[in-house]
Structure 1
Amino acid sequence: MNERPLTREEVDLFLRLRPHSRRAFMAAFGATAAALTLSACSPSKPEAKADGKLVIEGSEGNKLAFYNWDTYIGETTLADFKAASGVEVNMTLFANNDELFAKFRAGNPGFDVIMPSNEYVARMVEAKMLAPLDHAKIPNKKNLLPEFQDADFDPGRKYSMPYTWLVLGIGYRKSAMKGGVIPDSWKYLYDSAEYKGRLSLLAESADVFRLGFKYLGKSVNDATPELIKQVEDMLIKQKPNIKNFHEDNGQDLLMSREVDIVLEYNGDIAQKETEDPDLAFVVPKEGSLLNSDCMCIPVGAPNPNNAHAFINFLLDGQNGANITKTILYPTPNAAAKALMDDTYKNNPTIFPPADIMAKCEYGKYAGSAITQAFEAAMTRVRAA
C-alpha cells in the first residue's frame, strides 16, 4: 500500500485527541488523514512476556495491515503485540463505514484486519468481502460476555468478533433543562419545540430514521415505505427547531454550549462527562439503536494467520482493558471489564440500565433499496 507513516508530531497529536470522537483525528488533519499509516509505537518499549514471543502458527512474516477508526486503540497495544509476536502492525485510519465499504469494492487493497460496524458486517458478507474466521485460532473468544458470543447480524460469529458496543441516546446539559426535567423521550428531538434552536441530530440517515421508528412505537427495522414517509414528514415539521445535523461531534456542540440536547453515542458523551459534570446522557424510554464495531478479516488478506493472532490478542483480558482505559467505550469483553475500576463499570452512561437496554435493538441491513430510501428521504428533509 502506498501510504506514508505518521510523523512523531502527528502521532503525539493522535494520542492527545483520543478522548474525543472517533472522527476527531480526521477533523484535525482533513480527509487525507484516512490515508495515513501508524506503525506500532509507544512512549516506551514494552517488555516481552516472560514466556517469550507469541508463536503464530503458520506465520506469514512480521507484518500486519490494520484498517481502524481513529482514536480507537490502546496507547501501547500495537507495540505490545509487536513485542509479544515480532509482528509489526501498520494501522491505517478511516472516517466512516461508507469509506470502509468503498475501499473494498474493487477487492482487498492489502489489509489483514478491518473494523466495520454490525450492519456493515452483514453488508460486506453479502458482498463477499469478508473471510470466515477460524475460531480455533481465537481461543480468547471465551472472554466475551454471553450476549456477545453470538449475533443476529453474524450468526455463530462466523465473520466477526466484537470490539466495542455503542448505544445512541440523548446527550444534554443538565443546567439547561427546563424545570430540571430529564429529556427521556425521543419526543424532545423529533416532535417538540421546547428546545427550539438548541438541539442537534446526527447526519446519518439510517440512524435518524430508525430512531424515528422507535419514537413511533415500531422496531428500528420496520423500514416500510409508509413508515419512512411518516418519519420524513415528522422531521420536516420539526426542522425549524433543529439547529443542525452533526457529523458525530454532538459532544463538542454540547461542550461549546452551541446546543443543549444532542443525538449522540454513549461513549462520546461519557468521555466529555469527565471534563464537564454538567453533561449527562439518557437512553429514551422508547428504546434505541445499538451498534457494535467488529474485528474482521477481509477476503484476500495477505497475512491471515497473523490476523487471527492479532484478533485473539485484542480479546485478551489485560490487552482489552488497556484499550478500554484509553478509548472509554463499552467493552463486550468480560475479562477486560473485570479489570476496569468501578467508575467505569458503574457508569450509567457507558452501561445504561438493563430495563432500558432490553428495549434496544441492532439495525439489520435490509438491502440497497432501503439504504437508498433512507438517504433520499434525508436529502428531502435537509432541503426542506
Structure 2
Amino acid sequence: MTVSRRMFLRDAGLAGIGLSFTGAMAGCSRSKPSRALNLYTWDTYIGEHTVADFTRAAGAGVNISLFANNDELFAKLRGGNQGYDVIVPSNDFVERMVAANLLAPLDPTKIPNRRNIAPRFLDAPFDPGRRYSMPYTWIVTGIGYRKSKVKGIPDSWKWVLDSDAYKGRIALLGEASELFEIGAKYLGHPANTSDPAVIEQVKAMLIRQKPNIAAFHDDNGQDMLLGGDVDLVIEYNGDIAQVMRDDPDLDFVVPREGGILASDGLCIPRNAPNPDLAHAFINFVLGAAPGADIARTIRYPTPNEAALALMPDSYRKSPVIFPPAAALATCEYSRYRGQAMNSLYEAAMTQVRAA
C-alpha cells in the first residue's frame, strides 16, 4: 500500500461505527449477499481486502461495528449479545468474558487453518487449549514519539508518567487496567499486582502528572502523534508502525522497565446469530494470504506463520513490529484478576480523570 492504513479505511468508509460492507462494496457483485457476518472489532483493524475476499469466498457480506476499548466491548456484551458473530477482545478480556460466560466454545474441526498459527500461541495461559479464542495479533505497549521534538530516546515510563519536561505534549492510554499495570511496572512492581496499595501509589502519581497530560486517549494516540497534537504517547507498536509509514519523524520504544504484552483473539460470543458463518470467517482470516493481507495493512505482529512467510523483510525485520528479544523479556502479559480488582482500577481511573 502506498497510502496509510487509516487513509485507506477512511476512504473505503470503514472508519465509522456500525457500518455495513456487503455486496458491491465488497467487490463481488452488484447484488447484496443474502446473509452477512456481524463483526465487532477495533477501528482500522482489518485487511485491505478482507471484506471483499471473504465475500467472494463465502458469499456473505460483513457488517462491521467498532469499539474504542475492551471496557466498551465488555459492557456491550455483558448486557446480552446484540447480534454479533465475531468479536476481537484482548487476552485478559478473553479471560474475563469466559468467567462471565459471554463466549461460546470454538469448534476446532471448523477451523483447519489453525495449523498456520505458531505453536507458542496455541496454548495460552489466558485460554488453555484455545477453547474460546483464535490468535489474531500479538501486541506490545510502549512509547511512540516524534524524534525532532524529543531530546533523546524516551526509554523509561518516567518520560510520560513522572516528568513535566513535555508538559501538554503527552497522551496516555485511557483504559484503566493497562494504564495502571504500566504505572505499577514503572514503580517497580509486577504489572499484575493485586495489591490495593500499589493501585493507590499509581493513582497518586497519575494525579500529580495530570497537569502535564494533554489527553487520555482511546487507542487513537497514533493519530494525535501524527497530527502534531502530542510528542509522546503510550500506544501499541502496530499503531505506531502504521503512522511511521506516513511520517519518518516518528518512532517507538519499549521502556526499560518493560511494556505490556497482549494478544487479540477472534471469538464467538454466546448466542451469535450465525455461528457457522463465524467459524468460516475465523478460518478464512487464519489463511496464509488473508493473514498476510491483514498484517500488511495493520502492521501488527502476526502469530500466523504461513502469513509471516509471505511478508517482506521490511515487516519481518522491523524492530517496531517485532521488538528485540531483550526488550520483550522485560514485558508481561495482562491477566484478569477478578471483578473486585477491575472495580478498583476503574474507581481509581475515575478519580484520576476527575482530579
The verdict on a shared fold, with TM-score over 0.5 as the criterion, is yes
Provide the residue aligned with 1:229 in structure 2: 200
| Alignment-derived partner of residue 9 in structure 2 | 18
The corresponding residue for 1:218 is 189
1:44 Cα deviation after fit: 4.3
* Bigger radius of gyration: 1
Alignment-derived partner of residue 222 in structure 2 = 251
Quote the residue 1:340 is aligned against. Answer: 311
* Pairs within 5 Å for 1:1-384: 16-18=7-9, 25-26=15-16, 33=17, 35-39=18-22, 42=25, 44-45=27-28, 62-178=35-151, 181-384=152-355
Residues 65 and 193 (structure 1 numbering): CA distance in 2 closer, same or farther, change over 3 Å? closer
Contact kept? 1:17, 1:25, Cα under 8 Å: no
How far 1:105 sits from its partner (Å)? 2.6
Q: Distance in 2 between matches of 1:258 and 1:88?
A: 37
Please list every run of 5 or more consecutive structure 2 residues that lacks an aligned counterpart in the other structure.
none
The 3 A distance-change label for structure 1 pair 196 and 111 is closer
Provide the rounded CA distance (Å) in 1 between the counterparts of 2:77 and 2:137.
22
Q: CA deviation at 1:109?
A: 2.6
The 8 Å contact of residues 133 and 297 in structure 1, kept in 2 or not, is answered as yes
Larger mean CA deviation between 366-375 and 335-344 belongs to: 366-375
Quote how far apart the aligned CAs of 1:341 are.
0.9
1:222-263 residue CA offsets vs partner (Å, 9 max, x unmatched)? 131010011112222222332332232222222233322111
Q: Aligned partners of 1:250 and 1:305: how far apart in 2?
A: 36
1:71 aligned partner, one-letter code: T
**Quick one: which amino acid aligns to residue 112 of structure 1?**
D
2:53, 2:118 → 1: CA distance? 24
Q: Which amino acid aligns with 1:120?
A: F
Bigger mean CA offset, 74-83 vs 359-368 = 74-83
State the SS of the aligned residue for 1:234: helix
CA gap 1:43/1:383 in 2 versus in 1, 3 angstroms: closer
Q: Is the Cα contact below 8 Å between 1:18 and 1:327 reproduced in 2?
A: no
Identity between Structure 1 and Structure 2 (%): 58
Structure 1 CA distance for aligned equivalents of residues 138 and 331 of structure 2: 12
- SS for the counterpart of 1:175 is coil
- Verify the 8 A CA contact 2:35 2:61 in the aligned structure 1: yes
Number of aligned positions between the proteins: 345
Q: Is the 8 A contact 2:260 2:331 kept in 1?
A: yes
Superposition TM-score, scaled by structure 2 size = 0.90
1:158 Cα shift? 0.7
* Inter-CA distance 117–304: structure 2 relative to 1 (3 Å threshold): same
Please tell me the root mean square deviation across aligned C-alpha atoms, in Å.
Answer: 2.3
SS in 2 for 1:162: strand
Segment of structure 1 superposing worse, 183-192 or 279-288: 183-192
- Report the Cα offset of residue 63 of structure 1: 4.0
The answer on whether the counterparts of 1:184 and 1:283 sit within 8 Å (CA) in structure 2 is yes
Paired AA for residue 302 in structure 2: T
Tell me the amino acid that sits aligned with residue 365 of structure 1.
Y
Per-residue deviation at 1:41?
5.0
Identify if the C-alpha distance between structure 1 residues 276 and 290 changes in structure 2 by more than 3 Å, giving closer, same or farther. Answer: same
